[in-house]
Amino acid sequence: MNTHLDNKVFDAIAGEAKRQAEGLELIPSENYVSKNVLLANGSILTNKYSEGYPGRRYYGGQEFTDKIETLAIERVCQLFNCKFANVQPHSGAPANLAVYSALLEPGDTILGMDLSHGGHLTHGHPMTLPAKIYKFVTYKMKDPETGEIDYDNLRAMALEHKPKIILAGFSAYSRSLDYKKFVEIAKEVGAITVADMAHIAGLIAGKALRNPFDDGFDVITSTTHKTLRGPRGGIILTRESEEIAKKIDKAIFPGIQGGPHMHTIAAKAVAFGEAMTPAYQEYCQQVLKNAKAMEAVFHREKIRMIGGGTDNHLILADVFGSLGVTGKEAQTVLDEVGITLNMNSIAGDTRKPLDPSGIRFGTPAITTRGFKEADCARVAELLIETLRNKANSLKANARPDEDGFRDDEAKKKIIKAEIQALAEQFPIPESFV
């Protein structure tokens, strides 16, 4: 046994590094962090316990941890133009749970976006803990072809159910939300407005998308590892109410978490610093342009997109309806050629979540690598070509296709080689500023 390194683990990490370098990452919730974020995240801060908050901890030795957490808070408040921030949530799900537990009593009602229309598991899926504690009611899109939210129904639901929280936000929705309408409706029923911006927080911080705080939202929750390009973690931001912010602090610690992960908080501070740069704002604009370039190819090739296209970094495409390839088949065959994305249910899906009709993909990670519009358009073409190849093989071989390997393998090899060449042309950068 090698006592110096744990080869089993480090070999697997090396394998993953190679996979990330050689393939194209289109999962819209993933990204590549800078070397500085990695250094902070892998630092000796992992050794330290710091229960409490800067200046009011339960353990000694907090001279440096206090500095780091204060810096993270100051930077993220500046980025999002808000007064209070909690940077301790271990990720997005605990951030949302903490907000619910801070602002609600068990049995209280939350009005959020329906999961099948783009919402998130933590917005009331029956299998989650929040759904066992609180009552969730949902709103949907008026028309999946345009993606517009049915604000009349949202208002009617709010008037009927008198929710204490109205929740905006999504994990599979490609259009912009009218935050002002949410705030107006919330005022009518006395609800607190919470925006789960996990997917687009980076694009808001980078001033490429509208900030819900500018329209009066009370609270924003987010992860820090998606478009924000930081370590795996969460944040909760409060626009101006000290009362709400204090309740949220208590809900995180001692409510649902113990010692904060100071190494992650340091890495968050580094990422927030990077997000304050002009280079980051350019990155965010490019993420949107690149998504539009992919959208144009999908339009041209007549592949149905839920919401009719995209205003943000992601696209949800109905590949089963358009090509006869299921989401799972698409995900698998694309993996084989070096494109990683995820299968996803679509509004009104007749298929099951583990083999749905859709795929979800986006541009944050490839934009970090330096892809521009023409490169992204080519990726979209290769993606569709791979799926058409799959569709042809499915037509030729009656379902169920037991061996699953009847695609045109020669064509797949050619596509894979082009994808690998593209990946080599755009190495993962170590620094963005």
Asked whether position 312 contacts ligand DSN by CB under 6 A, the answer is: no
Cα-Cα-Cα-Cα dihedral sign, residues 102, 107, 112, 118: positive
In whole angstroms, what is the distance from residue 217 CA to residue 211 CA?
9
Closer by beta carbon to ligand DSN, 125 or else 207: 125
Q: Which residue is nearest to ligand DSN (CB)?
A: 29
**Catalytic entry in 30, 51, 184, 385:** 51
SS3 400: coil
**Catalytic entry in 140, 226, 268, 390:** 226
Asked whether position 331 contacts ligand DSN by CB under 6 A, the answer is: no
Catalytic site includes residue 58:
no
Closer by beta carbon to ligand DSN, 319 or else 415: 319
Q: Pick the closest to residue 234 from 223, 225, 245 (CA basis).
A: 223
Catalytic site includes residue 403:
no
In whole angstroms, what is the distance from residue 267 CA to residue 277 CA?
16
Q: Which of 171, 174, 222, 386 binds ligand DSN (CB under 6 A)?
A: 171
Taking a C-beta distance cutoff of 8 angstroms, is the pair 249, 109 a contact?
A: no
Q: Report which secondary-structure segment, H or E, holds 424.
A: helix 409-425
Asked whether position 344 contacts ligand DSN by CB under 6 A, the answer is: no
Which residues, including other chains, have CB under 8 Å from residue 173's CB and lie 6 or more apart? Answer: 113, 117, 118, 119, 147, 307, 316
In whole angstroms, what is the distance from residue 45 CA to residue 261 CA?
8
Binding mask 49-88 toward ligand DSN (x if CB under 6 A, else -) reads ----------------------------------------
Q: Both tokens of residue 412?
A: 């797949």
Binding mask 109-148 toward ligand DSN (x if CB under 6 A, else -) reads -----------x----------------------------
Asked whether position 174 contacts ligand DSN by CB under 6 A, the answer is: no
Closer by beta carbon to ligand DSN, 273 or else 358: 358
Taking a C-beta distance cutoff of 8 angstroms, is the pair 174, 311 a contact?
A: yes
Pick out residues in 2-41 that bind ligand DSN (CB under 6 A): 29
Query: What is the bridge-based pairing of β-strands 192-196 and 219-223?
Result: parallel
In whole angstroms, what is the distance from residue 253 CA to residue 259 CA?
8
Nearest-approach distance from CB 93 to ligand DSN, in angstroms: 7
**Catalytic entry in 30, 49, 135, 155:** 49
Nearest-approach distance from CB 199 to ligand DSN, in angstroms: 6
Which positions are annotated as active-site residues? 49, 51, 196, 223, 226, 232
Which residues are near ligand DSN by CB under 6 A? 29, 92, 120, 171
